[in-house]
Amino acid sequence: MSLQVRTRFAPSPTGYMHIGNLRTAIYEYLIAKVNHGKFILRIEDTDQERLVEGATEAIFKVLQMVGIQPDEGPGIGGAYGPYVQSERKGTYAPFAQQLVSAGKAYYCFCDKERLGVLKEKAEACGEVFVYDRHCANLSEEEVKAQFDAGTPYIIRQKMPLAGSTTFVDAVFGEITVENSALEDQVLMKTDGFPTYNFANVVDDHLMAVTHVVRGSEYLSSTPKYNLLYEAFGWEIPTYVHLPLIVKTDGSKISKRSGDASFEDLVEMGFLVEAIVNYIVLLGWSPETNQEIFSLKDLESVFSISRISKSPSAFDLAKLRWFNAEYLRQLPLEQFHALATPFYSGLEAFDQLKISKILQPRTEVLNEIPQKIDFFEQLPDYDLELYVHKKMKTTLEISLENLKLGLPAIQAIQQWDEQTIHDTLIGLAERLEIKNGQMLWPIRTAISGKDVTPGGAIELIEILGKAETIARMEDGINRLTTQLNQ
C-alpha cells in the first residue's frame, strides 16, 4: 500500500500574503488533491519578534477566499496537532538535545557582541559572515561551567566540514552542495523557541508530510534539512522547489516596492478566480493549450512534472486579460451583482442595461466608475473629440449631422433600441452618409468621451429621450460657438 500524500502550507504570520506565498499554497493543495492526499495548514510563529497582529487571520481569510479548505490545521483539528508552532514549544528542545548527545549539534554561548564583531570583520573583507565554530568543540567541563554561570545559549547544528551533500528535487533534479558552504545553523534560540528551519523539519516529520513545496530560493538550504533528517534517521520527503516569480523587468516582487499582494489585487477589482487561474500558470503549464481553469479543474489535471524551472514574470496586463475573460463568461445577472456597487448616482437609469453594455468591455471592476461617470453628468469635454479620421468627421460635419439628427430623435415615439437604431441608420441612408458620420457626433455629444461602454444607440436608449435631446442641443451650441469664433 502506497504512502498517503501529505502536503503542508506553513506560512509565518509576519505580514501580507504575497503572490509567491499564495502560489505555493495552491500548488501544495493541488498536489495533495490530485493524489487524493491531505493538505495541512500549519502556522509557523517561532519568530516572535516579527509577528504582525492580524496576519494569522489574514492567512485564513485568503485561503477561504480562494476556495482552499485545509484537511487539518488550526481550528480544524487533526491527528497531528496542535498546528501552531508556538503551541508546540515544548516539542523541539528534546530533539535538539538528542542531536547534541549524538554529536550532531552543540551549545553555543557566543553573545551578540562577539557575533557582531565577527560580522563586521567579514563585511570589511567583503566576505559573507559565517560563524567560526568557536563553541563547536567545548569540553563537557566548559559547557557545564557556562551552564552553572547561567550564560544564555543557543544550539547549533554541527555541519560536516568536508565532502558534499546531494539531493534530488522533483523540479530541478539532482543538486549537489559542498558541505564547506554550509554554516552551523541555529536550531534553538535563547528564548527557548526553535528556529524556522529546525521546527520545519521536526514538524514535517511528526506530521508525516511527504512533499515539501517551497520557493527555489530554499534550494541551497535543503542540504541542512537533509542532514537533520539523516541525523535523526528519518525518511526524507519529496522536495518540490518552485521557480521564482519576478516582475516583467526581471526584478524581485516586493510589497516595499509597491507590488500588489493578493488582497490588493482583489481590492483593485480583480476576481479571485481569475487571480488563482493566472497565479497557477506562473510556473506550471498544462498538457494542452487550455488557459482557463477553475480550482476544481486543476484538482484533476495538475502535475508536478509540468512545473517549470524558469522564473515566471507577473504581468498585470496578462492578469487583466484573464479577468476580462472571467467577467465575460459570467451570467449577466451575476456580473450585474458585481458591478452594481460601482453605480453610485445612477439610480435614474436602467442599471441592468448599463451592466449589459459594460460586461463585454470591462477588464477590472474598479475601473467601472470612470467608464460610466458621464451618465450622471456630462463632462466638460474637448471639442476635438468630434474630429475622427476613420469616421471622416470634422467640426463642421459633426455640427451639421447633430442638427439633422436632433429632430429625428425628437420625433421618436416608441423609445427602444431597435426604434432608435432604425431611425438613425435610416437617416444616414437617406443622407447618403456613412453610419459613423451620424453616430460619432451623437455619441460624442451625449458622453463627452472618446471611449464608451456601448455605442451611440445603446447609450441613447439608457440616457432616455429628454436627456439625449438636452445633450445633443448642448453639443450643437458648443460647436456653433466654436465655429463662429
Task: Report d(CA 243, CA 439) in Å as an integer.
Answer: 51
Q: Work out the angle between the directed axes of helices 417-431 and 456-463 (0-180°, nearest 10).
A: 130
Residue 256: per-residue pLDDT: 66
3-class DSSP state of 84? strand
Q: What angle do CA 470, 474, 475 make, to 5 degrees?
A: 120
User: Do the beta carbons of residue 66 and residue 272 sit within 8 Å?
Assistant: yes
**What class does CATH assign to 6-73+199-245?**
alpha beta
| Collapsed DSSP state (helix, strand, coil) of residue 186 | strand
Longest distance between any two alpha carbons in the chain, whole Å: 109
Residues with catalytic roles: 255
pLDDT at position 129 is 87
Fold classification of 383-483 is Arc Repressor Mutant, subunit A (1.10.10)
Handedness of CA 388, 389, 392, 394 (dihedral sign): positive
| 90-188 is a CATH 3.90.800.10 domain | yes
Q: 245-247 and 238-242 as β-strands: parallel, antiparallel, unpaired? A: unpaired
Element (H, E) at 176: strand 173-178
pLDDT tens digits for range 93-102: 999 999 999 9
**252 or 325: which leads in pLDDT:** 325
Name the CATH topology of 255-329.
Glutamyl-tRNA Synthetase; domain 2 (1.10.1160)
pTM of this prediction exceeds 0.85: yes
pLDDT-based confidence at residue 9 (cuts at 50, 70, 90): very high
- Structure confidence at residue 106 (pLDDT): 97
The average pLDDT across 300-327 equals 96
The three cell numbers locating residue 92: 523541539
Alpha carbons 185 and 153: distance in angstroms, whole number = 14
**Which residue in 14, 68, 19 sits closest to 43, CA to CA?**
14
| For the chain, domain boundaries | 6-73+199-245, 90-188, 255-329, 332-376, 383-483
Which stretch of 250-264, 333-347, 409-423, 431-445 has the lowest confidence by average pLDDT? 250-264
Per-residue pLDDT tens digits for 154-195? 999 999 989 999 999 999 999 998 888 888 999 999 988 999
Same fold, 255-329 and 383-483: no
pLDDT at 1: 37
